[in-house]
Amino acid sequence: MEDEARRLDADDPLPTLRGEFLVPPAPGGAYGEAAYFAGNSLGLQPRGVADRLREELDDWARLAVEGHTQARRPWVDYHELLRDPAARLVGALPHEVVAMNTLTVNLHLMMASFYRPEGRRTRIVIEDSAFPSDSYAVASQAVHHGLDPAETVVRLTPRPGEDTLRTEDVLARLEREGDTVALLLLGGVNYLTGQLMDMAAITKAGRAAGAAVGWDLAHAAGNVPLRLHDWDVDFAAWCTYKYLNSGPGAVAGCFVHERHVRDASVPRLAGWWGTEPSVRFRMEPGISPPASADAWQLSNPPIMALAPVLVSLEIFDRVGMGALRAKSERLTGYLASRLASLGGAQVITPADPAARGAQLSLRVADADAGGLVRRLAERHGVVADARKPDVVRFAPVPLYCTFHDCHRAAEALSDLVGGPA
């Protein structure tokens, strides 16, 4: 089986870019490099990041304040360097995207604009297994508007005995109760199960029901192809430290559809970087927002934090999401086939490759997920992550994971959980 994995690596149409990333050593040192499957939590560091940061630090040292206009990449409009590659990544027009803030901050800024409860249309719909930050954010938005979160926030649950949502159930719920929904905010790829939602169909149904439709793309950006403009999404936000490999707490991204960026009546919270660059330094009290997602910016861009994001986006531009998605399906399919007969564990991620991203989540019977993850690392050099009480997540990220990594993960699970792999 190991020989087969090595053959698959040698013959793959997209050779691994592992050499462009810093792969940590396996815990204990017995296995060389780790087989790293935690890129859905924190991506590996691209080798080019250190040099890029040194360039920015050097410009700061040489130029001080003049770096805003004279640096190799002038700081005053640095965020514009990320605009085109970010737009290509998420299927948007360039003026619909902006790199700024962090994910939950951006979600709050978007909800300040697009969650407008009125009359009976007050509810916010999320998935029951939404990431906790999303749950906290929507509940606090309800409170901000004087509403009771227990009545305002609707949590979509799978059918009894199932782990993932069915698209037809989401659409039926919107058809029945859509006139009460002010905002639909779901994860494009669910952080727990790895389910890839049918974003096109759900967006269409949500907008037909009269709701604003937003997507949390924390686990989708850099993982699956996206077409936010064509799907007519109202807004979306994503972090860049997972599949986009931009470092812990990296600057996030945001999408606002062009029909909104051209509408000056859309309410928004404002800061000085959200005004037209041509008048920004007049220091006048009145704001003149541009007809772009830049109008939602608050503060000047953090250069040292944006530099790693730019390096990452350059890699994605060079390789392309189509090639990465195809390899992702090959890697995840191989790992799924190796885990199919594993005793004591059940893959809860959808079996259909079209309904999942680069993640397989296993529910491990009668096991502490955290303890199992520690043993995987300490005994086998396999790095995954746990979601208590009993889910272990593996993300074979196509930029740097290999078929041999997947082989190591399957063998390690077979040793620790039982059954052939």
Binding-site residues from annotation for pyridoxal 5'-phosphate: 103-104, 131-134, 216, 219, 241, 272, 300
Strand partners, 124: 153, 183
395 touches 39 (CB < 8 A): yes
Count the neighbouring beta carbons within 10 Å of the beta carbon of residue 68. Answer: 15
For 183, residues 6+ apart whose C-beta sits below 8 A from its C-beta are 111, 114, 115, 123, 124, 125, 138, 211, 212, 213, 214
For 296, residues 6+ apart whose C-beta sits below 8 A from its C-beta are 98, 100, 106, 109, 110, 113, 254, 256, 268, 269, 274
Strand partners, 25: 33
For 272, residues 6+ apart whose C-beta sits below 8 A from its C-beta are 280, 298, 299, 300
Rounded Cα–Cα distance for residues 405 and 36 (Å): 8
Q: Which two tokens stand for residue 316?
A: 């994605």
SS (H, E, C) 263-296: CCCCCCCCCHHHCCHHHHCCCCCCCCCCCCHHHH
For 413, residues 6+ apart whose C-beta sits below 8 A from its C-beta are 339, 342, 345, 362, 376, 421
Which residues does the annotation place in the binding site? Answer: 103-104, 131-134, 216, 219, 241, 272, 300
Q: How many whole angstroms from its chain centre is CA 412?
A: 28
Using alpha carbons, list the distances in angstroms from residue 48 to 85, 100, 313, 314, 369.
Answer: 17, 21, 12, 10, 34
For 123, residues 6+ apart whose C-beta sits below 8 A from its C-beta are 152, 153, 154, 177, 180, 181, 182, 183
DSSP result, 356-378: B-S-EEEEETT--HHHHHHHHHH
Rounded Cα–Cα distance for residues 125 and 327 (Å): 33
